[in-house]
A and B are shown apart, each in its own frame.
Chain A
């Protein structure tokens, strides 16, 4: 098969929050997601877009390229934070990718990630990002299984892990995994044999023409911790090759990111022949084969795991919190916000041509010489140092952050100093976890708040000592 892309570098990102199966068993008397020991939980200010930005940035770094070198962008998820509105323009901005390059997003099923990998151009430098954070009702198996994670691949002709073969399969079998408009929870009809057959038949159908038996790693779609092993016979592979790269046991059901996370793990583990086998409701499946022939830089990013209690988990899921009263909140109009996007997404400061001070945001009179000047833009996306910090306790947050605080409790707000080329500038920002004066922090993209139905994204800072 020709025209398939080649992986040059990859990165994964998983939220730091975790909950163990034991916590569910204590709360419900049982845990209904077999084979899952723990799962990743997005924090209150994380979603599919913020995870995509995190994975994407790490992949670019792993490939040692800047965003401006990307010619094509793809983003796959089943949980876009907005149902209708393209989010790839924001993702491009967050990753400093040229806004004029073509992009594509696929959101219709958990096959979205592999479909994008197969759609990406083979002759250009492309970035494919897959991020997902599915959710289900607290009392059903989809809810128990729901995890979170993201992976990004830099694809380029000069990579060392070409996709050498791929095949797809589709068959009309409704009701296996679906979500109604305006719902956040996925549903299945829990028709056991029907669902299992749909899963096995679709992957077997897609894999029929692909050589799989020699694989040393097989990344299979994992709605729970047992389902992937059911296709071992159909694919003619040893279950150990599935287990080797399966992430569901620790991260839960990562939806569209399930197979891509496994592929990234296989590349990181230096597996030579890698199979990916995805499945999505509807139903459909993709099976692809990767020949890992040389060095492929891989980064597995994230912070040190923090365990959640079941109550804290429910708060993160907005299962026991109520939306804050609409007080109007601090009104920063969408056009005003849009004008500050280089600062929100990439920390673009400015150098004063009069006194050489670094100013953030680069607007208005210089804070040092007080001259009205036009600034020379400077990218300040770098680690910084906390100059001062406070913890905003429950009830102390401004109303636009009341929902976030209900979900995650107290949060830290700091003034962070960034140094670039001998110049320093300070800016206020929320921290993703608690830290003290003098500690080093790195910028990350998070959801800031939502106003007038429009989610706003920007920079928060994460302590570097919490990096895994």
Chain B
């Protein structure tokens, strides 16, 4: 099967931008991605586009893919919208990889976009809830904060995880996000700040929840046949894993794990032929801080029940053994639903191409991105490998 490579990635700022449209935000991300390609990339070479978006607010639910690609002048190229809730962007990247690996395309634009802050609070809560299990879970009176809070409560009951450990995730991610010029909540917070925030859905407080965001992000995925045109230091998409599960938490056999993440992670590791110890960093889906702790366990960073200790020991800090969410994660960088998965790939690209600025890690080789839809109805994991000049004979 042909290899697929990541040759560029870019994003808009994530935040609240009442003067921007989903088209203008996407344009910013697209131009940033094009500019990031080391040897340049002529947009005329793009064969295909895949766009992830939920369509929060109900805007352009149909044909939202062509609506942005035609706006960019990518006239006539086939474009498909991918909707998998908060994993839409990650799945857009996966579709791009599949298009390249199938031989149908050599250059694919994978993007994501969302506008969430120009509608009322009730409307946002409506849209945040439509990706949950609607008929029973939603109509028990809960949105995602409530469902993840139920997971947090179960994890606390089973493993003695503490709210302080949840707060430490927020402190870490804010610390990272403070160094990310694209981050929405670009400030550091203290443990005391994170511990004393107002409760949203017990045991989760405001600092345990990511913000709602506007933003867009794009990644450029190319085939091994053309990769040399665009870069001399390619980043191989070494592993891809994805899985689905029951949409409702109550329908799953466990509340302290996301089985779709485990399966997606296992498949990605197998495809990349590595295990978690090979990773140099990871961008995981921390829509709520319990989700980051679940990801540690589901992706094999630690044993079940040990995620709390892992954050407490600083293992996932930027100077830890496995830095997690150097971008600031969803918590600090922001969570524009459709753009989140591609936004994670942007951070992977920056770290592996040495362009992450203040938060640059020292010569990473393997990075992982992990994007979850809903409370675990979908998950997608990518593993990226920076191919050094010495091992470039892989192509």
Question: What residues of A have a CB within 8 angstroms of the CB of B139 in the complex?
Answer: 330, 332, 400, 448-449, 456, 458
A330 pairs with B134, CB closer than 8 A: yes
* Size category, A interface: 35 or more
B135 pairs with A332, CB closer than 8 A: yes
Segment from B104-112, B124-132, B314-322, B328-336 that makes contact with A = B124-132
* CB nearest neighbor in B for A337: B135
B140 pairs with A327, CB closer than 8 A: no
Given A413-B142, A415-B150, also A428-B137 (CB < 8 A): yes
Q: Is residue A393 within 8 Å, beta carbon to beta carbon, of the partner chain?
A: yes
For chain A, residues 318 to 332, give those with C-beta under 8 angstroms from any C-beta of chain B.
324-325, 327-332
Q: Is residue A429 within 8 Å, beta carbon to beta carbon, of the partner chain?
A: yes
A429 pairs with B143, CB closer than 8 A: no
Question: What residues of A have a CB within 8 angstroms of the CB of B126 in the complex?
Answer: 327-330, 398-399
Question: What residues of A have a CB within 8 angstroms of the CB of B146 in the complex?
Answer: 390, 392, 396, 413
A398 pairs with B143, CB closer than 8 A: yes
Per-residue contact bits, chain B 228-249, to A (CB 8 Å; 1 contact, 0 not): 0000000000000000001011
Per-residue contact bits, chain A 326-359, to B (CB 8 Å; 1 contact, 0 not): 0111111000100010000000000000000000
Checking A327, A368, A430 against B141 with a beta-carbon cut-off of 8 angstroms, the contacting residue is A430
A411 pairs with B150, CB closer than 8 A: no
Q: Is residue B16 within 8 Å, beta carbon to beta carbon, of the partner chain?
A: no
Q: Is residue A402 within 8 Å, beta carbon to beta carbon, of the partner chain?
A: yes
Question: What residues of B have a CB within 8 angstroms of the CB of A415 in the complex?
Answer: 150, 249-250, 255
* CB nearest neighbor in A for B138: A330
Q: Is residue A361 within 8 Å, beta carbon to beta carbon, of the partner chain?
A: yes
| Selected A-B contacts with CB under 8 Å, 28 pairs | A324-B122, A327-B126, A330-B129, A330-B138, A332-B134, A367-B252, A388-B157, A390-B142, A390-B146, A390-B202, A391-B202, A392-B146, A392-B201, A393-B199, A395-B121, A396-B146, A398-B138, A398-B142, A398-B143, A401-B141, A413-B142, A413-B150, A415-B250, A426-B250, A427-B136, A428-B250, A437-B153, A458-B139
Q: Is residue A96 within 8 Å, beta carbon to beta carbon, of the partner chain?
A: no
Question: What residues of B have a CB within 8 angstroms of the CB of A414 in the complex?
Answer: 150
Question: What residues of A have a CB within 8 angstroms of the CB of B249 in the complex?
Answer: 415, 428
Question: What residues of B have a CB within 8 angstroms of the CB of A402 in the complex?
Answer: 122
Q: Is residue B123 within 8 Å, beta carbon to beta carbon, of the partner chain?
A: yes
Report Cα–Cα, A389/B123, bound state, in Å: 25
* CB nearest neighbor in B for A395: B121
Q: Is residue A397 within 8 Å, beta carbon to beta carbon, of the partner chain?
A: yes
Checking B125, B138, B149, B252 against A390 with a beta-carbon cut-off of 8 angstroms, the contacting residue is B149
* CB nearest neighbor in A for B154: A388
Question: What residues of A have a CB within 8 angstroms of the CB of B251 in the complex?
Answer: 367
Given A393-B201, A398-B141, also A388-B153 (CB < 8 A): yes
Report Cα–Cα, A251/B18, bound state, in Å: 53
Q: What residues of chain A have their CB less than 8 Å away from a CB belonging to chain B? A: 324-325, 327-332, 336, 340, 361, 367-368, 387-393, 395-402, 404, 411, 413-415, 426-430, 437, 448-449, 456, 458
Give the Cβ gap from A455 to chain B, nearest Cβ, in Å: 13
Checking A327, A368, A427, A430 against B122 with a beta-carbon cut-off of 8 angstroms, the contacting residue is A327
Q: Is residue B390 within 8 Å, beta carbon to beta carbon, of the partner chain?
A: no
* CB nearest neighbor in B for A328: B126
Per-residue contact bits, chain B 186-208, to A (CB 8 Å; 1 contact, 0 not): 00000000000011111110000
Per-residue contact bits, chain B 135-172, to A (CB 8 Å; 1 contact, 0 not): 11111111101100111111001000000000000000
* CB nearest neighbor in B for A329: B126
B135 pairs with A340, CB closer than 8 A: yes
Report Cα–Cα, A395/B122, bound state, in Å: 9
Report Cα–Cα, A388/B255, bound state, in Å: 8
Give the Cβ gap from A336 to chain B, nearest Cβ, in Å: 7
Question: What residues of A have a CB within 8 angstroms of the CB of B248 in the complex?
Answer: 428
Question: What residues of B have a CB within 8 angstroms of the CB of A456 in the complex?
Answer: 139
Report Cα–Cα, A426/B255, bound state, in Å: 11
A398 pairs with B153, CB closer than 8 A: no
B201 pairs with A396, CB closer than 8 A: yes
* CB nearest neighbor in A for B127: A327
A397 pairs with B141, CB closer than 8 A: yes
* CB nearest neighbor in B for A324: B122
Known: A391-B149, A428-B136. 6 other contacts (CB 8 A): A367-B252, A392-B143, A396-B145, A396-B200, A398-B143, A413-B150
Question: What residues of B have a CB within 8 angstroms of the CB of A401 in the complex?
Answer: 141
Given A330-B129, A437-B157, also A391-B120 (CB < 8 A): no
A387 pairs with B143, CB closer than 8 A: no
Checking A327, A332, A368, A458 against B120 with a beta-carbon cut-off of 8 angstroms, the contacting residue is A327
Given A388-B153, A402-B122, also A393-B202 (CB < 8 A): yes
Report Cα–Cα, A340/B139, bound state, in Å: 13
7 A-B pairs with the lowest CB-CB distances in the bound complex, closest first: A390-B149, A399-B122, A388-B154, A428-B140, A391-B202, A388-B150, A327-B126
Question: What residues of B have a CB within 8 angstroms of the CB of A427 in the complex?
Answer: 136, 250
Given A388-B151, A390-B202, also A429-B130 (CB < 8 A): no
Report Cα–Cα, A113/B280, bound state, in Å: 74
Question: What residues of B have a CB within 8 angstroms of the CB of A458 in the complex?
Answer: 139
A390 pairs with B201, CB closer than 8 A: yes
* CB nearest neighbor in B for A438: B157
Report Cα–Cα, A228/B139, bound state, in Å: 44
